[in-house]
């Protein structure tokens, strides 16, 4: 049944072609194709997850060309939950897009292509193949961001195109260095071949390769000084797109960074070259603080959530730098948790914008009375992001803090705790306005005008609210089932600690 692993990538590519054909017949065919694709994708990822659960790591040689020469796909306890996450997020976003749009066939083609790219990044075990899938992910995302109606969306997309291409090129250059040094591109055989090079980890070629690959991936993850593309891309694209790319695109890149650091270069490399781990911790910590501070300063809610992602991914990169088992478990759990929470938060903002036209901090006054269910879901997701138990945000952050303490880096533990307070600061501000501030007279008048005129409340379907509520419930349930999730992840991490 390992064919399911390759079908996870082929199926969305095939689904991306179909709307191009069907577009000749019908304008709405894309949605049905995307729905069928996401349901089939969910089935396939469930098969893969089940296979991993029963027999551990599974590997697939594409075209029957055996690794290390052929392209290898791999699923293990870390990638399998991420594949399921991708399927569920895709399904949720497609259901949400039924009413919320965009409705064009091109949008669904791009969405399917993005699904293929992200699935590929997570499934591949080949560094060059990883580059190809990063580029597919990137190109699909540029097109999706540009599908926003405002001219600013086009500018944001162009900026993302430039910065993202530079990031991918740096990664490709690093891959080239490694290939020159070792003559292989397969991740598992690279880890042995790097040690076998004459100078080992001290080889300047290998060090340059690491530096370039890590920097390229950090651009894609959007860590503080390299994050400049990210707020625009998240804030200017349509709400459906913001939710999908905030949930998965940086997550896939962060997973790629994890794979490159721990499968290709291994912990021995991090011990031999302590500056690499220190750089991760430093960049991550700066990103945590800077992202949170920038988030507190925003009045546009989408921009606030975007900067919040900069901060949360700083947490993940810091955990990669700390590098003990607890911290890495925390990093993977937080990747999954962040995707659920941030995707859900963006979808909730979409509901608010469509039903009452609220997009900025001031327009959120008294929102809970007008949009009670979605507000409650938003609050649950926000508190989960802050890290309040029993939600998933707590499990991730807690493991990272404990990992930092185990490693003796008290300063990092302090930064994480401070970041939690800052997260509370920017989400607290929103929730205080939603629940405890009465709307001004003029605001109510404005809202009723806009509700009667431009954007009637019927713009929000039952499906859209349901998806938001499901995201909130999932965040809590994942937190309650956190130890089971850790049990799935742990065996795959043990491999790096022998």
Helix (H) or strand (E) holding 58: strand 58-61
3 vs 494 by CB, closer to other proteins: 3
How do beta strands 58-61 and 72-75 pair?
antiparallel
Does the protein bind other proteins through residue 237 (CB under 8 A)? no
Rounded to whole angstroms, the Cα distance separating 477 from 390 reads: 8
Q: Residue 280: which of 397, 409, 422, 190 has the closest Cα?
A: 409
Does the protein bind other proteins through residue 158 (CB under 8 A)? no
Q: Which of residues 165-184 bind other proteins (CB under 8 A)?
A: none
144 in helix, strand or coil? helix
Does the protein bind other proteins through residue 440 (CB under 8 A)? no
Give the interface segment with other proteins, choosing from 7-15, 155-163, 187-195, 231-239 (CB under 8 A). Answer: 7-15
Does the protein bind other proteins through residue 40 (CB under 8 A)? no
**Neighbouring C-alpha atoms within 13 Å toward the C-beta of 290:** 16
CB of 10 to other proteins, least distance (A): 6
179 touches 193 (CB < 8 A): no
Which residues have a Cβ under 8 Å from the Cβ of 155 and sit 6 or more positions away?
A: 232, 236
116 vs 354 by CB, closer to other proteins: 116
Indicate the DSSP class of residue 300.
B
Both structure tokens of 201: 């980890």
CB of 30 to other proteins, least distance (A): 12
Both structure tokens of 73: 């796909």
Rounded to whole angstroms, the Cα distance separating 40 from 185 reads: 31
Does the protein bind other proteins through residue 454 (CB under 8 A)? no
CB of 20 to other proteins, least distance (A): 4
Give the interface segment with other proteins, choosing from 9-17, 199-207, 321-329, 418-426 (CB under 8 A). Answer: 9-17
Both structure tokens of 195: 């040690």
Both structure tokens of 361: 């901090």
Report the Cα 327 to chain-centroid distance in Å.
18
48 vs 254 by CB, closer to other proteins: 48
Does the protein bind other proteins through residue 132 (CB under 8 A)? no
Which residues have a Cβ under 8 Å from the Cβ of 419 and sit 6 or more positions away?
A: 288, 289, 292, 311, 314, 315
Helix (H) or strand (E) holding 321: helix 301-322
Does the protein bind other proteins through residue 133 (CB under 8 A)? no
41 vs 397 by CB, closer to other proteins: 41
Taking residues 99 to 118 in sequence order and writing x for each that binds other proteins by CB under 8 A, - otherwise, the string is -------x--x---------
61 vs 286 by CB, closer to other proteins: 61
CB of 60 to other proteins, least distance (A): 7
60 vs 262 by CB, closer to other proteins: 60
In degrees rounded to 5, what are phi and psi of residue 66?
Answer: -70, 140
Helix (H) or strand (E) holding 37: helix 29-55
CB of 121 to other proteins, least distance (A): 18
Does the protein bind other proteins through residue 378 (CB under 8 A)? no
Does the protein bind other proteins through residue 25 (CB under 8 A)? no
63 vs 198 by CB, closer to other proteins: 63
Does the protein bind other proteins through residue 47 (CB under 8 A)? no
129 vs 423 by CB, closer to other proteins: 129
User: 68 preceded by cis ω (within 30°)?
Assistant: yes
147 vs 251 by CB, closer to other proteins: 147
CB of 186 to other proteins, least distance (A): 16
Does the protein bind other proteins through residue 155 (CB under 8 A)? no
Of positions 3, 278, 362, 487, contacts other proteins by CB under 8 A? 3
Does the protein bind other proteins through residue 161 (CB under 8 A)? no
126 in helix, strand or coil? strand
72 vs 236 by CB, closer to other proteins: 72
3 vs 362 by CB, closer to other proteins: 3
Residues binding other proteins: number (CB under 8 A): 20
User: 390 preceded by cis ω (within 30°)?
Assistant: yes
Helix (H) or strand (E) holding 59: strand 58-61
CB of 16 to other proteins, least distance (A): 8
Does the protein bind other proteins through residue 198 (CB under 8 A)? no
Q: Residue 192: which of 271, 274, 267, 265 has the closest Cα?
A: 265
Does the protein bind other proteins through residue 489 (CB under 8 A)? no
Of positions 24, 453, 458, 498, contacts other proteins by CB under 8 A? 24
Which residues have a Cβ under 8 Å from the Cβ of 250 and sit 6 or more positions away?
A: 220, 221, 222, 230, 309, 313
Rounded to whole angstroms, the Cα distance separating 171 from 218 reads: 10
**Neighbouring C-alpha atoms within 13 Å toward the C-beta of 351:** 28
Give the interface segment with other proteins, choosing from 10-18, 222-230, 366-374, 375-383 (CB under 8 A). Answer: 10-18
Q: Which of residues 53-82 bind other proteins (CB under 8 A)?
A: 60-64
Does the protein bind other proteins through residue 1 (CB under 8 A)? no
Q: Residue 161: which of 136, 144, 137, 138 has the closest Cα?
A: 138
* Residues at the contact surface with other proteins, assessed by CB under 8 A: 3, 6-7, 10, 13-14, 16-17, 20-21, 23-24, 60-64, 106, 109, 143
């Amino acid at each position: 049944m390992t064919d399911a692993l390759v079908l996870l990538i082929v199926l969305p590519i095939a689904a991306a072609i179909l709307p191009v054909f069907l577009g000749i017949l019908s304008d709405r065919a894309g949605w049905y194709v995307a729905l069928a694709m996401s349901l089939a994708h969910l089935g396939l990822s469930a098969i893969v997850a089940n296979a991993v659960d029963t027999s551990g790591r599974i590997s697939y040689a594409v075209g029957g060309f055996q690794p290390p020469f052929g392209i290898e796909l791999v699923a293990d306890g870390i990638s399998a939950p991420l594949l399921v996450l991708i399927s569920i997020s895709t399904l949720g976003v497609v259901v949400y897009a039924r009413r919320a749009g965009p409705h064009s066939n091109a949008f669904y083609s791009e969405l399917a292509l993005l699904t293929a790219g992200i699935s590929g990044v997570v499934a591949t075990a080949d560094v060059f193949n990883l580059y190809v899938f990063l580029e597919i992910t990137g190109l699909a995302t540029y097109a999706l961001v540009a599908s926003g109606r405002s001219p600013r969306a086009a500018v944001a997309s162009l900026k993302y195109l430039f910065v993202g291409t530079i990031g991918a090129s740096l990664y490709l250059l690093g891959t080239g260095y490694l290939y020159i040094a070792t003559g292989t591109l397969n991740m598992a055989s690279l880890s042995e071949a790097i040690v076998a090079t004459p100078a080992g980890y001290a080889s300047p070629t290998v060090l340059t390769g690491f530096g370039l690959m890590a920097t390229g991936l950090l651009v894609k993850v959007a860590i503080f000084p390299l994050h400049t593309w990210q707020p625009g891309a998240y804030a200017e694209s349509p709400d459906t797109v913001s939710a999908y790319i905030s949930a998965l695109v940086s997550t896939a890149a962060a997973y790629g960074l994890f794979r490159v650091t721990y499968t290709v270069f291994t912990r021995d490399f991090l011990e031999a070259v302590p500056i690499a781990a220190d750089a991760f911790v430093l960049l991550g910590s700066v990103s945590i603080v800077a992202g949170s501070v920038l988030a507190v300063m925003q009045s546009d809610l989408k921009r606030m959530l975007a900067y919040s992602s900069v901060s949360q991914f700083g947490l993940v990169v810091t955990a990669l730098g700390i590098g003990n088992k607890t911290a890495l478990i925390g990093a993977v759990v937080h990747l999954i948790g962040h995707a659920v929470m941030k995707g859900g938060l963006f979808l909730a903002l979409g509901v608010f914008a469509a039903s009452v036209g609220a997009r900025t901090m001031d327009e959120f006054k008294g929102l809970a009375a007008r949009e009670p269910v979605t507000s409650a879901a938003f609050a649950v997701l926000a508190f989960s992001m802050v890290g309040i138990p029993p939600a998933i945000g707590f499990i991730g952050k807690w493991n990272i803090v404990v990992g930092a303490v185990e490693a003796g880096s008290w300063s990092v533990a302090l930064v994480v705790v401070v970041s939690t307070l800052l997260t509370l600061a920017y989400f607290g501000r929103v929730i205080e306005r939603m629940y405890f501030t009465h709307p001004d007279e003029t605001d109510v008048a404005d809202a009723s005008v806009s509700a009667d005129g431009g954007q009637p409340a019927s713009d929000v379907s039952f499906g859209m609210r349901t998806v938001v509520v499901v995201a909130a419930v999932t965040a809590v349930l994942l937190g309650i089932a956190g130890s089971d999730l850790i049990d799935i992840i742990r065996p795959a991490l043990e491999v790096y600690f022998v």
